């Protein structure tokens, strides 16, 4: 049944303060968190539904058919939310918006969150691995053989590519690790709850 609440006017990119006001005025607004289940379980905005970015291709059409209210996309910092926006637009879904700064921006403003067991965010995992590879490659190039300098050059090139294209192959690979994909995540049930507007399954 279509919502009887007047549809809010939402900018394409929503600041945390704006989103907090919108949620108070329009409780039917949907929050779609596209981070990994591990990140979501660690900390998420109350009422947000978790459908990881790499599952949107499979569930995009179902989300489009079930949800007819505005959707604000959320990730850790904003990059994956923009990718999710592209994926859902390709599935024909209108009225999509992105939370500025993602969960990081929300937390930095002191907004309420649900917290679970602590784990490393995907962005931190990428920084740690990329930094480690670059450091090791640099040391090996100095101490063993200059050819090891190829490793930090490769890592740096990958980071530049990620920044230019707004994609990160390492993040996509890491998101598939068991550490980032707990067995408790039921994406199908989460999509159904998203469509009904019922309490997200956690």
Q: By the 8 A CB rule, do 57 and 89 touch?
A: no
| 3-state SS, residue 33 | strand
Q: How confident is the model at residue 7 (pLDDT cuts 50, 70, 90)?
A: low
Condensed to tens digits (0 to 9), the pLDDT of residues 134-190 reads 999 899 989 999 888 898 898 888 888 888 887 778 887 887 777 676 545 567 788
Q: By the 8 A CB rule, do 102 and 76 touch?
A: yes
Number of C-beta neighbours around residue 91 at 10 A: 15
**What's the pLDDT at 190?**
83
Average pLDDT of the residues of the chain: 86
Domain ranges for the chain:
13-119+182-196, 122-174
**What's the pLDDT at 89?**
94
Condensed to tens digits (0 to 9), the pLDDT of residues 79-116 reads 999 999 999 999 999 999 999 999 999 999 999 999 88
Condensed to tens digits (0 to 9), the pLDDT of residues 19-36 reads 999 999 988 899 999 998
Compute the average pLDDT of residues 110-129.
83
Interatomic CA distance for residues 37 and 53, integer angstroms:
10
User: 24 is written with which tokens?
Assistant: 């108070």
**What's the pLDDT at 202?**
55
**What's the pLDDT at 192?**
84
Compute the average pLDDT of residues 115-125.
77
The 8 Å CB, 24+ separation contacts for 89-92 are 90/60, 91/56, 91/60, 91/61, 91/63, 91/64, 92/61, 92/64
What is the fold, at CATH topology level, of the domain defined by 13-119+182-196? Oxidized Rhodanese; domain 1 (3.40.250)
The percentage of the chain sitting over the pLDDT mark of 90, rounded to a whole number, equals 42
User: 5 is written with which tokens?
Assistant: 């609440």
- H/E element holding 31? strand 30-33
Interatomic CA distance for residues 194 and 115, integer angstroms:
20
Q: By the 8 A CB rule, do 74 and 103 touch?
A: yes
- H/E element holding 197? none
Active site residues: 75
- H/E element holding 164? helix 150-165
Interatomic CA distance for residues 202 and 197, integer angstroms:
14
Which residues does residue 33 pair with via DSSP β-bridges, in sequence order?
50, 74
Q: Which residue reads 């997200």 in tokens?
A: 200
């Amino acid at each position: 049944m279509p919502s009887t609440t007047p549809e809010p006017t939402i900018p394409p990119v929503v600041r945390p303060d704006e989103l907090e006001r919108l949620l108070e005025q329009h409780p039917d607004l949907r929050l779609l968190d596209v981070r990994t289940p591990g990140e979501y379980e660690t900390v998420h905005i109350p009422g947000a539904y978790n459908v990881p970015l790499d599952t949107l291709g499979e569930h995009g059409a179902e989300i489009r058919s079930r949800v007819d209210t505005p959707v604000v996309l959320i990730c850790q910092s904003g990059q994956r939310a923009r990718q999710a926006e592209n994926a859902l637009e390709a599935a024909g879904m209108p009225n999509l918006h992105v939370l500025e700064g993602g969960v990081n921006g929300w937390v930095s403003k002191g907004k309420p969150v649900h917290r679970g067991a602590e784990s490393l965010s995907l962005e931190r995992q990428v920084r740690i691995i990329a930094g480690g590879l670059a450091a090791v490659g640099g040391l090996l190039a100095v101490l063993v053989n200059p050819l090891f300098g190829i490793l930090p050059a490769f890592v740096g090139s990958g980071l530049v590519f990620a920044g230019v294209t707004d994609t990160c192959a390492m993040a996509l690979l890491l998101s598939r690790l068991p550490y980032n994909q707990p067995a408790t995540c039921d994406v199908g049930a989460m999509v159904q709850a998203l469509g009904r507007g019922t309490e997200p399954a956690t």
